[in-house]
Amino acid sequence: MHTINNNIYIYQNGDKKNKSILFIHGFPYDHNMWQMQVEDLKSRFHCITYDIRGLGSSPAGDGQFTMESFVDDVEFLIDELELDQPVLCGLSMGGYIAFRCMERMQEKFGGLIICDSKPEADNNEAKLRRASGIKTINTQGVQKFVGDFIPNCFTQSSINNINIPYKEILERSMKFDPSGVKGCLIAMLSRTDTSSFLSNIKIPSLIICGEDDKLTPPDVMKLTAEKISSSEFVIVPKAGHMTPIENPQFVNKVINNFLVKYFTGK
């Protein structure tokens, strides 16, 4: 069941009396990315997913987004849904949002789960790649951009594995509003670097990385985890950048163990 609040599509599963987990999906995906985690956790935890503005069902509006405006949306959700120190779980772009949430308002969260992400801002090369992505959307459409981008996020063996709805994911993202996808690219290329804050993160944290993640490789994520004294680092076998989809059984187990260790799971 979803509600629409402030033009954001919000999906809640599980009993509100249980510990809340607020999931932030990656780019260019939507809340469906977390489907297998929500299915697994909803009997013990209050699971909230939402579509980032401009992606999925949440309308793009004028498409003028910043990482800061995405963090404003997280703050809005916490206040609006009256969440009591939820565990924040973000993948990749969702992780960029989550790291900035820590810097801005760590006290509002009980725990942090980062999947396949990094605190560093885009370097020049990455900024130019984003600019080229915007050009592709303008000249050849969002379908072409998504068709080029998404295969890099998965391992070839995940793509070939019929048990994961890869084709469905691709087709869904190809229908996203071009203004929303471009707005997210601009928000990512203009985001700040949050790495100097890592040593100030004091809440229980779990850092997860796919063993074959080409975008945020394990050696890079391990360095990030080492800077967060309250963190555990886990490598996910048989997965690239999209760990929750590529190896859901493993990721669910790791997330569940983390949540049970630090929070009450009914």
Q: Compute and round to an integer the Cα radius of gyration of the chain.
A: 17
CB 99 within 8 A of CB 194: yes
| Cβ burial 120-139 (10 Å sphere, 16+ → b, else e) | bbbeeeeeeebeebbebbee
Query: Exposed/middle/buried for 61, CB within 10 Å: 0-12, 13-18, 19+?
Result: middle
Judged by CB under 6 A, the chain residues 203 through 242 that form the site for ligand MLT are 215, 241
* Least distance (Å) between residue 93 CB and ligand MLT: 3
Q: In this chain, which of 188, 206, 228, 236 binds ligand MLT, going by CB under 6 A? A: 188
Q: In the structure encoding, which two tokens stand for residue 152, read together?
A: 């890099």
Q: In this chain, which of 27, 109, 154, 233 binds ligand MLT, going by CB under 6 A? A: 27
Residue 121 as a binder of ligand MLT (CB under 6 A): the answer is no
Q: Judged by CB under 6 A, how many residues of this single chain contact ligand MLT? A: 8
Q: 200: which residues sit within 8 A by CB, 6+ positions away?
A: 102, 103, 106
Judged by CB under 6 A, the chain residues 151 through 180 that form the site for ligand MLT are 153
Residue 92 as a binder of ligand MLT (CB under 6 A): the answer is yes
Q: In this chain, which of 14, 26, 63, 218 binds ligand MLT, going by CB under 6 A? A: 26
- What is the DSSP-derived secondary structure letter of residue 191? P
Nearer to ligand MLT, 19 or 191 (CB): 191
Nearer to ligand MLT, 81 or 142 (CB): 142
Residues that bind ligand MLT (CB under 6 A): 26-27, 92-93, 153, 188, 215, 241
